[in-house]
A and B are shown apart, each in its own frame.
Chain A
């Protein structure tokens, strides 16, 4: 039954108690599980999956079936625990009252509202008290239907009732940004509702799902958590021949590759291409990596039956170099980490090679049957999102315009001349309400140009944006090739005549464009207007932010403290301050 989760997680078994191995965990996360049924095995399984991702899960579990009371009136234990994530494991077993058969729509409507308001109050109280992300199960269907098909169609039918509740949950999740729905209705459908339930375990131990289904559940929660902490994958690298179409284009010719509605195999590849295209629409960056003459590879893509077009790809590496080299160079060119990349290839040889040389790259075993590729890619949920913003929908175009910028660069002898030719403009503004989502996304995703790698959730950022103790700046960057969107964020804590910069980050999309200098000029102006004379900068070392180790030095800061992993820098604002940016036009402050 575990086939609905990634292969690597199937080796694990939720039944075994966690052996206390020395933990190599690099980050910790505090998760409170508030259950409407028993949750021990779920906790164990989730804990193990987190550990496999170098994350140490620290757990709090509510007393049996106390999810409602623990939410409305949190115990001292939960309060001192201070969860970062609260998972509410309620299920259909927690529905206290279903409509009576024969009830009229008004009665049913009342009951829906009554049930829904219980959950609404849970979410609002938890948000108020803990300011954290809430993962909430929706409802799975009932396994038995005395009404038969009418269970769905009649207003008093149980499935009708649950469906309406689920819709209300979805709508609410769209409204409340820190509420994320864990769709167990879909999970149980995948597993099969009869296998999802296990009577022996329910009636004896009050597990509302079978132990075989638990890995599927915890895998889904894991992927939601990975997305919350910004560890979802960003880029899909695909091979061409026999991966996105059938046949080897260099041998059979572009007219004879198997793609399109003419043959069963052609249709299989077409479906896979459509799936990949959908991924690009939601912001996954697509790259091609194929052992082919470039000409042949492109002629294959230009076959009219393809769904994927040449310009759906941000980069195409079509050559005879080995794929390890090509994927490394894709990573460099797009400026994204290897651990953000998923690589798919029909050849076991290529997969093994990449796996062994680039262990950070995720290489699913997609098997040999083209119709299964989509299944292997889909079940792994690599690209899980907890939300989608305008930036996600237009991301691939940023990377494409970046490729244009790269080609333009070659024309200039001097890098500054090139930058000038871009005619860059930026709007540097305080955090505004409409930008809060994007700011939160940046704060939680940016790894490289990020001085402190301090993660903050939406609520925290909202309250910072409203507080007079903080100075905030968010900026975009436009140039003649297009708008890069909101790409840089600074938060400074004001204390009398000083300001401590707690967050400074910039998207890798706009490295080396002088935006950081424009932003610093802006900060100096803001500080002057507020009577601030000293700025403190912090550099907290992480695995990926070496690139900004000496950033404050470049700006003219003096190092005043250098402890293990934390450098503290100081900058005195003087009248003699000379603007550092001469290239980017700043629109307003």
Chain B
């Protein structure tokens, strides 16, 4: 499980780099609007759009409403893929 989680993290990391325009940005499960300065509501939307496009998935209303940090985001992605 945590292996899979890590895989997804690595996969979606470039989306964060693109949205925050910073290739060196390290993200982990705890990353959230309170740990990343530029993470505002627009960034959240851009992250979801980027991930949707990258993984060819569509988040529904409740999935978009849930995640408080990157870890929760990944949980939703994994649940969706299974």
Interface residues of A, Cβ cutoff 8 Å to B: 15-17, 19, 40-41, 199-201, 203-205, 207, 211
Contact = CB atoms under 8 A, between A and B. Distances in A.
A204 B63 CA distance: 10
16 contacts: A15-B19, A16-B18, A17-B19, A17-B21, A17-B43, A40-B45, A41-B42, A199-B61, A200-B58, A200-B60, A200-B61, A204-B61, A205-B44, A205-B64, A207-B45, A211-B49
Contacts of A203: 61, 65
Contact of B65 (A15, A41, A204, A207): A204
Contact of B41 (A16, A17, A205): A205
Given A15-B50, A201-B64, 12 more contacts: A15-B45, A15-B53, A16-B19, A17-B42, A40-B42, A199-B60, A200-B60, A200-B63, A203-B61, A205-B64, A207-B45, A211-B49
Nearest to B60: A200
A352 B59 CA distance: 42
Contacts of B41: 205
A204 B64 contact: yes
B69 interface: no
Contacts of B63: 200
Contacts of A211: 45, 49
Contacts of A40: 42, 45
A15 B46 contact: yes
Interface in B10-40: 18-19, 21
Contacts of B42: 17, 40-41
Contacts of B49: 15, 211
A16 B18 CA distance: 7
B18 to A, nearest CB: 6
A45 to B, nearest CB: 12
Contacts of A200: 58-61, 63-64
A531 B69 CA distance: 76
Contacts of B45: 15, 40-41, 201, 205, 207, 211
A95 B3 CA distance: 49
Contacts of A204: 61, 64-65
* List of 4 A-B pairs having minimum Cβ-Cβ separation, nearest first: A15-B49, A204-B64, A40-B42, A203-B61
Contacts of B65: 203-204
Contacts of B59: 200
A204 B46 CA distance: 13
Contacts of B18: 16
Contacts of A19: 21
Interface of B: 18-19, 21, 41-46, 49-50, 53, 58-61, 63-65
A199 B63 CA distance: 12
In the complex, which of the residues B18, B41, B49, B53 has the most CB atoms of chain A within 10 Å of its own CB atom?
Answer: B49
Contacts of B43: 17
A203 B64 CA distance: 9
A335 to B, nearest CB: 46
Contacts of B19: 15-17
Nearest to A40: B42
B38 to A, nearest CB: 9
A41 B41 CA distance: 11
A205 B42 CA distance: 9
Contacts of B60: 199-200
Contacts of B46: 15-17
Nearest to A44: B42
B37 to A, nearest CB: 14
Contacts of B61: 199-200, 203-204
Contacts of A205: 41, 44-45, 64
B23 to A, nearest CB: 12
Nearest to B15: A15
A203 B66 CA distance: 13
Nearest to B43: A17
Nearest to B50: A15
A557 B64 CA distance: 69
B24 to A, nearest CB: 16
A211 B49 CA distance: 8
Contacts of A16: 18-19, 46
Contacts of A41: 42, 45
Contacts of A207: 45
B52 to A, nearest CB: 9
Contacts of B50: 15
A117 to B, nearest CB: 33
A19 B19 CA distance: 10
B48 to A, nearest CB: 8
A17 B18 CA distance: 8
A484 B65 CA distance: 63
Nearest to B66: A204
A209 to B, nearest CB: 13
A275 B53 CA distance: 37
A93 to B, nearest CB: 15
A416 B80 CA distance: 82
B50 to A, nearest CB: 6
A19 B41 CA distance: 18
A1 to B, nearest CB: 12
A199 B53 CA distance: 17
A199 B62 CA distance: 10
B12 to A, nearest CB: 14
Contacts of B64: 200-201, 204-205
A203 B19 CA distance: 22
A206 to B, nearest CB: 10
Contacts of B44: 205
Nearest to B45: A205
A416 B62 CA distance: 79
B41 to A, nearest CB: 7
Nearest to B19: A17
A15 B50 CA distance: 7
A41 B76 CA distance: 24
A200 B53 CA distance: 15
Contacts of A17: 19, 21, 42-43, 46
Q: Which of A17, A204, A205, A207 has the most CB of B within 10 A?
A: A204
